Structure 1
Amino acid sequence: MAKAPEGPVPVVVMGLGFIGQEIARAAMSSPEVELIGAVDVQSGLVGRPLGDVLGGPAPRVKVSASLAQAVGRRKGVVVLHATGSRLPKVFDQVMEAVKLGLPVASTCEELAFPHLKYPELADELDQAAQKAGVAVVGTGVNPGFVLDRLVAVAGQVCGPVRRATVTRVVDARTRREALQRTVGAGLTEEEFFELVDSEQLGHVGLVESAALAALGLGLDCDDFEEEVAPVFAEEDISGGAFPVRKGRVAGMFQSVVGLEDGQERVRLELTIAVGADDPKDRIEIDADPKLVLEIPGGVAGDRATANALVNAAPRLTAAEAGLLTVLELPAGR
């Protein structure tokens, strides 16, 4: 692996939604990167000073409509990409950056392990990145850390792994309104499953995390089974962006099981619900020695995701060219 460059790495944030703005703020607070620009296609944002969009101090740049415009003549720029969760919808954006010779760290959940669902797109992107001599990675908190990378790191001190169980519980009241609605808070059971069936509800990336965790633990899972179910409010719940009445959906429970020859080897369980009890991240690895790690309260998703992208930028400039997973980046700084 090449040596990371000395001095701050110039970065451009692509996508100025909630997470994109968090990434921009995280970049401004990091001594390892320099925020030089931002890109968004929304007409209401293009041309506005970045500080106005963020509602606070920011570099004296305006939001650009194109990546090429934002980068200008600067060399060594890394793109911090945050525009969507589904790879087919953001593929052209990532490819645009690659063709400009720019490394990319993306929040796109399906980009964390794209070979699982989109092998042809993954191969195309990998070949383009190798040809351009740049690295591309999907990262964040989940996928990207709690349910996969942290599991793989923990497994480094274990003997052969028999089974791994990872649990993440999030009280959605501590998160933004958009996430509360994404997990179905306030819906009826019928409305919940209608949105699940149309892929408008649920956490994107859980199966990718399971595949990454299995890979990092040396497990050869040949099948993954995913389920989504509603979590119902047992009483009226307040304290979130909106009240949830008793009997309505408070959130969701989602699980993925990784199987090897029909035997369960990896289980990921994710609960995100308004009023969820005992928020935490917990990793249990059945091996010799057995290992149990728990983070009371859990890792805060939004800000931690922003930090994950910012901290990946200097690592990408020194990484091998191609489409990578977070398991191929240094565990530390």
Structure 2
Amino acid sequence: MTNIVVVGFGAMGTKTIEELNKKETVHVKAVIDTNPMYKGKFTNDYIKDNKQIPIYNSLEDIEWKDVELAIVTSASFLIQIEPLLVELANKEVNILTIAEEMSYPEATNKEIADKLNKLALNKNITILGTGINPGFILDLFIIVLSNTCLNINEIKATRVNDLSEFGTTVLRSQGVGLSVKEFEEDVRSKKVVGHVGFAQSIHLIAKAFKWELIRLKEEKEPIITNEKVTVQGEIIDKGNVIGCNHKAVAHFKNNKVITFEHPQQVCANNYPETKDEVEIQGVPNIKVKIEPEIPGGIGTVAMIINMIPLIIESQAGLINILDLPRLPSIFNE
């Protein structure tokens, strides 16, 4: 039985707990969320489940001696999550996080990555970042497809997904509801973030292929509605923004190129088709299209669940998907 603590009781945290509770070989011992409204509460006060799991506001409220794994379902950026990861590492538990930049943290901040690796080795624990994207669609999936190629010159990949079911925080991070001018201002001030993880996915592919990165350029463009739409009860007028089209182009030595495009929008009219599409130009040429796109929410939860046996088996240190002891697959008991 693997004892687990889940950190974060938002949308990802609650869905992860619901799925973990269906497993016989794992046990969610406790949940941590700093929101004071949860103090003294239990998970079944908020989700339909017969398991009464206590929710605490602090790591110090828990006895960590028999905990093997902490699953962190909050934050996206390395600088945001570093203090929490250090605190958890000092509890001597393995850490699985869905923070996008943790899928390959060296791409964001090598100093912090080296610090976390040194701490993990010292505590004999494993720290791994996972998720649907980065973590699978724009990296691991492409790496697995490359097994059928003798040579690769260029990779093009597109992920189109619908933001309609997401909350206000996510919508605002993609510029939904803004005017074009406001969108451009918020891109400059980094309030509109687009997709977090292009750099991580590109570095993972480069490491797997032994490609030498020369330059990486990203740009964000507004997706504009040509009709009045209503999103989460808010009216967005024609000509305003319903999403962000985030692009990245990476050039490598020997004229290798990776191009990623990730439009995220409320599916009103501009992108009625959601999909994941990968095109590899090489020997042979390969084109794979998944319609509709692999759902980000349940896909991320599945990646969390399926990584549990692998992180327990893995060597100590800060690792990524390329360091796993075997190819990830569904967690069957």
Closer, same or farther: CA 234–264 of 1 in aligned 2, 3 Å: farther
Q: For residues 97-153 of structure 1, what are the alpha-carbon distances to aligned partners after superposition, in whole Å with 9 as ceiling and x for unaligned?
A: 111111111011111111112000000001111111111111111111111111111
Q: Please point out which of 297, 318, 328 is paired with 2:313.
A: 318
Q: 5+ residue gaps in structure 1? A: 1-7
Q: Please point out which of 244, 265, 270 is paired with 2:257.
A: 265
User: How far apart are 1:159 and its partner, in Å?
Assistant: 1.4
The answer to which structure, 1 or 2, has the higher relative contact order (CA under 8 A, 6+ apart) is 1
Q: Residue 225 of structure 1 corresponds to which residue in structure 2?
A: 217
Q: When the two structures are superposed, what TM-score results if normalisation uses the length of structure 2?
A: 0.91
Q: Tell whether the 8 Å contact from 2:18 to 2:49 is kept in structure 1 after alignment.
A: no
Q: Please point out which of 300, 304, 310 is paired with 2:299.
A: 304
1:147 aligns with 2:128: no
SS in 2 for 1:243: strand
Closer, same or farther: CA 143–31 of 1 in aligned 2, 3 Å: farther
Q: Residue 25 of structure 1 corresponds to which residue in structure 2?
A: 18
The more displaced of 171-180 and 306-315 is 171-180
1:119 aligns with 2:119: no
Q: When the two structures are superposed, what TM-score results if normalisation uses the length of structure 1?
A: 0.91
- After superposition, where does 1:71-90 map in structure 2 within 5 Å? 71-75=63-67, 77-90=68-81
Q: Residue 289 of structure 2 corresponds to which residue in structure 1?
A: 294
In the alignment, the residues of structure 2 paired with residue 264 and residue 198 of structure 1 have an alpha-carbon distance, to the nearest angstrom, of: 32
Q: For residues 153-176 of structure 1, what are the alpha-carbon distances to aligned partners after superposition, in whole Å with 9 as ceiling and x for unaligned?
A: 111121121111110001222444
Q: Residue 108 of structure 1 corresponds to which residue in structure 2?
A: 99
Residue identity opposite 2:278 in structure 1: I
User: How far apart are 1:319 and its partner, in Å?
Assistant: 0.3
Aligned residues: 324
In the alignment, the residues of structure 2 paired with residue 248 and residue 60 of structure 1 have an alpha-carbon distance, to the nearest angstrom, of: 45
Q: Residue 331 of structure 1 corresponds to which residue in structure 2?
A: 328
Residue identity opposite 1:82 in structure 2: T
Over the residues paired in the alignment, what is the CA RMSD in angstroms? 1.9
1:193 aligns with 2:184: yes
Q: Residue 201 of structure 2 corresponds to which residue in structure 1?
A: 209
Closer, same or farther: CA 256–58 of 1 in aligned 2, 3 Å: farther
SS in 2 for 1:162: strand
Closer, same or farther: CA 72–151 of 1 in aligned 2, 3 Å: same
In the alignment, the residues of structure 1 paired with residue 288 and residue 60 of structure 2 have an alpha-carbon distance, to the nearest angstrom, of: 44
Q: Residue 173 of structure 1 corresponds to which residue in structure 2?
A: 164
Q: Tell whether the 8 Å contact from 2:33 to 2:56 is kept in structure 1 after alignment.
A: yes
User: How far apart are 1:260 and its partner, in Å?
Assistant: 1.3
SS in 1 for 2:31: strand
In the alignment, the residues of structure 1 paired with residue 219 and residue 50 of structure 2 have an alpha-carbon distance, to the nearest angstrom, of: 42
User: How far apart are 1:182 and its partner, in Å?
Assistant: 2.1
In the alignment, the residues of structure 1 paired with residue 80 and residue 260 of structure 2 have an alpha-carbon distance, to the nearest angstrom, of: 26
Closer, same or farther: CA 145–32 of 1 in aligned 2, 3 Å: farther
In the alignment, the residues of structure 1 paired with residue 34 and residue 100 of structure 2 have an alpha-carbon distance, to the nearest angstrom, of: 21
Residue identity opposite 1:63 in structure 2: I
Closer, same or farther: CA 97–63 of 1 in aligned 2, 3 Å: same
Q: For residues 4-24 of structure 1, what are the alpha-carbon distances to aligned partners after superposition, in whole Å with 9 as ceiling and x for unaligned?
A: xxxx42211101122222222
Percent of aligned positions with the same letter in both sequences?
24
Q: For residues 170-190 of structure 1, what are the alpha-carbon distances to aligned partners after superposition, in whole Å with 9 as ceiling and x for unaligned?
A: 122244443223211111012
SS in 2 for 1:84: coil
User: How far apart are 1:299 and its partner, in Å?
Assistant: 0.9
Q: Please point out which of 273, 280, 295 is paired with 2:275.
A: 280
